[in-house]
Amino acid sequence: MLTVVVVAVAGLLAVPSAAMADSYACTYGPGAYNCEGRAEFVSHGEHFYLMDRKADGHSAVLRYYRADTQQWKTSWNHDGAGTTKHINLDMPEGYDVVYYVCLGEYGDRDILEETCGVPTYGDMS
């Protein structure tokens, strides 16, 4: 009887998280899509997770267009390699976002355009 209870509890703990990314975008690098900076978009709650994935002295930069405000916004993760910054958009339902990720120099707020990845569509419908 005890074995059945332990297996049932273990099965409940294996349920996947509801906060799985609906889409993601990466930085671009020489000859390849290198993903030194990465952003994941979760439509449920309108969240971005901006990751700096390489100790290269650069910050990860997220550029995104909010359809509800019709404005481009910029967020920086300047906390170093291996860190993730959470951005809560707090948007009304039914609006979408377009976003891309670059590397940059946080001190000067200089986005290194040659590192910008492909624009990605974040669907919230």
CATH number for the domain harbouring residue 46: 2.60.40.10
In tens, the pLDDT along 7-52 reads 333 333 333 334 688 999 999 987 555 899 999 999 999 999 999 9
Does residue 89 lie in a domain region? yes
Does residue 29 lie in a domain region? yes
Q: How far apart are CA 50 and CA 102, in angstroms?
A: 11
In tens, the pLDDT along 49-97 reads 999 999 999 999 999 999 999 999 999 999 999 999 999 999 998 899 9
Does residue 4 lie in a domain region? no
Half-sphere exposure of 11 (CA within 13 A, CB side): 6
Question: Which residue type is seen at 43?
Answer: S
Does residue 11 lie in a domain region? no
Structure tokens at 101: 């990720």
Does residue 109 lie in a domain region? yes
Does residue 100 lie in a domain region? yes
The torsion angles phi and psi of 21, rounded to 5 degrees, stand at: -65, 135
Cβ–Cβ < 8 Å for 63, 25: no
In tens, the pLDDT along 95-121 reads 999 999 999 999 999 999 999 999 999
pLDDT at 6 over 60: no
Give me the domain span that covers residue 39. Answer: 20-122
Q: How far apart are CA 61 and CA 38, in angstroms?
A: 9
SS3 per-residue string spanning 57-113: CCEEEEEEEECCCCEEEEEEECCCCCEEEEEECCCCCCCCEEEEEEEEECCCCEEEH
| Domains in the chain, number | 1
